[in-house]
Structure 1
Amino acid sequence: MDAGRGTERLMMTIEYDDAAKALEQAWETRALIQPLSRSAGMATIDEAYAIQSAWSTLRERNGERVLGRKIGLTSKAMQEQAGFDRPDFGRLWESRFFVATGGRVEMPAALFLQPRIEGEIAFLLHSPLAGAVTIEEVLAATESVTASFEIVDSRFERRDFRVIDTIADNASFGAFTLGPWGRELLGEDLRRVSMILEQ
């Protein structure tokens, strides 16, 4: 074994864990922190996802469960605005899943730092997907779909943070809720499905 390589890997693991702990502290205390691209020297997409994974692992060791995945930057317009060429993804944590009752849901505002709400379409899969897949393969693996609301939130105190910062920050996950599952929307062209948000 190359001792130098082993030391390098160990140092990287420690750095990821330190970044994960900083995100966890910001999550728990609701205190903003510096973007990790500045404070931790994070520079690549792979490093950002490694930090996100380390943070989720830390939470899972303390009883958290991952209920699913969230996908962001799904439109070309959003990707161009962010200077990115692909969607990003994060994890949906059970501790921030709020069940809607009678079509209504309440979430404590004190949980969040810089919340924004987004309308989404949620997919419930009956079989797993991996690697590069087509739209047809996604639909074939889908049990049902529903409307969803996501609260996106950021643990970072500056608004000029980079996309890799949001990836490390679990794709800016805050919370989510789901409508009733059904198959009606599977017969629709989902590219043309819209949602109206009213205050």
Structure 2
Amino acid sequence: MTLPADTIAALAAELAEAERTRGTIPRITARHPEATIEDSYAIQGVWRDSQLAAGRTLVGRKIGLTSKAMQQATGIAEPDYGVMFDDTVYVTGSEIPFDDFSNVRIEVELAFALKAPLEGPDCTLEDALAAIDYVVPALEVLNSHIELEGRTIVDTISDNAAYGAMVLGDVRMRPDEIDLRWVPGVLSRNGEIEETGVAAGVLGHPARGVAWLADKFHQHGQRLQAGELILAGSFTRPMWVSRGDAVLCDYHEMGTIECRFV
């Protein structure tokens, strides 16, 4: 790491305050161009620990920027990850408070529930599939507390990989019940189709993101735990939403997800 501990703590506190006030802060990389990816995960870690100390409960991890669609949309060519807390989980049919988020966008994803711990190094797709209990369709609500213009992966990781919330579908399947590569997503806003894609857009197979995350955790001396939910990355570009928008995503065999921003 290049940033001193007091700077990392101060930036984490800025992000916590931005989340509390639903605001944004100037780019970290504009103020600290020497900041590295290791610094950004350290900032995220300090922020995460402060949230846990405040009583929030971790339920899983999100992976981002795992598809070409998302990498091209953001200009960032490397995956990242963040944490998910229990108070950020919605179910299909929910009304979601628009003012709880900043720069509100929606992504189409699959989420994997782990039935066994998973760790690297050299975790394979087969290892990941063996550790997965079930897969469920999910929408991710992006929530950016750092200004978007000129943002780099260091900024995004520091900001908990831009995670805000997820909306889960009500159809669960075992990985061997469906060809996960060909799960579709047809994303509509107010009845008009805006984005489409298939899950193979995530690293060729959406569960490969879970294996990638296990390897990244190994680099930090950690492993994924049984019971965690892993949001594996979007296979469409993000769709902007406004207050009052009704969102629908059709996953064909895996059902639909609906929500409204109020």
TM-score if structure 2 supplies the norm length?
A: 0.66
Q: Note if contact 2:12-2:44 (Cα within 8 Å) is conserved in structure 1.
A: yes
- Is 1:65 matched up with 2:57? yes
Correspondence for 1:97: 89
In 2, Cα distance between the equivalents of 1:61 and 1:13?
A: 19
Q: Note if contact 1:37-1:165 (Cα within 8 Å) is conserved in structure 2.
A: yes
Q: Render the CA deviation track for 1:143-184: whole Å, top value 9, x for unaligned.
A: 011001110121123422111100110000111121235225
Name which of 104, 110, 124 aligns with 1:121: 110
Misfit runs of 4+, over 3 Å: 76-81
- Is 1:28 matched up with 2:17? no
In 2, Cα distance between the equivalents of 1:27 and 1:165?
A: 15
Q: Quickly say closer, same or farther: Cα 1:150–1:42, change in 2 above 3 A.
A: farther
Amino acid at match of 1:164: V
Q: Quickly say closer, same or farther: Cα 1:36–1:177, change in 2 above 3 A.
A: same
- Is 1:174 matched up with 2:161? no
Name which of 164, 169, 183 aligns with 2:173: 183
Correspondence for 2:66: 74
Matched residue SS, 1:34: coil
Q: Quickly say closer, same or farther: Cα 1:78–1:150, change in 2 above 3 A.
A: closer
Correspondence for 1:165: 155
Name which of 79, 85, 94 aligns with 1:87: 79
- Compare 24-33 and 173-182 and name the one that shifted more: 173-182
Name which of 121, 127, 145 aligns with 1:155: 145
| Structure 2: gaps of 5 or more residues | 190-262
Q: Note if contact 2:65-2:76 (Cα within 8 Å) is conserved in structure 1.
A: no
Correspondence for 2:136: 146
| Structure 1: gaps of 5 or more residues | 1-7
Correspondence for 1:194: 184
Percentage of identical aligned residues: 36
By how many angstroms is 1:94 displaced?
Answer: 1.6
Amino acid at match of 1:168: S
In 1, Cα distance between the equivalents of 2:21 and 2:39?
A: 24
Q: Quickly say closer, same or farther: Cα 1:152–1:32, change in 2 above 3 A.
A: same
Matched residue SS, 2:96: coil
Count of residue pairs brought into register by the alignment: 187
By how many angstroms is 1:92 displaced?
Answer: 0.8
- Is 1:111 matched up with 2:103? no
- Is 1:48 matched up with 2:32? no
Amino acid at match of 1:161: R
Q: Quickly say closer, same or farther: Cα 1:110–1:76, change in 2 above 3 A.
A: closer
The structure in which a higher percent of residues are helix is 1
The structure in which a higher percent of residues are strand is 2
Q: Render the CA deviation track for 1:98-124: whole Å, top value 9, x for unaligned.
A: 2x2xx4111100111101011110000
In 2, Cα distance between the equivalents of 1:156 and 1:133?
A: 32
By how many angstroms is 1:80 displaced?
Answer: 5.8
In 2, Cα distance between the equivalents of 1:65 and 1:192?
A: 33
Correspondence for 1:4: none
By how many angstroms is 1:48 displaced?
Answer: 0.7
By how many angstroms is 1:40 displaced?
Answer: 4.3
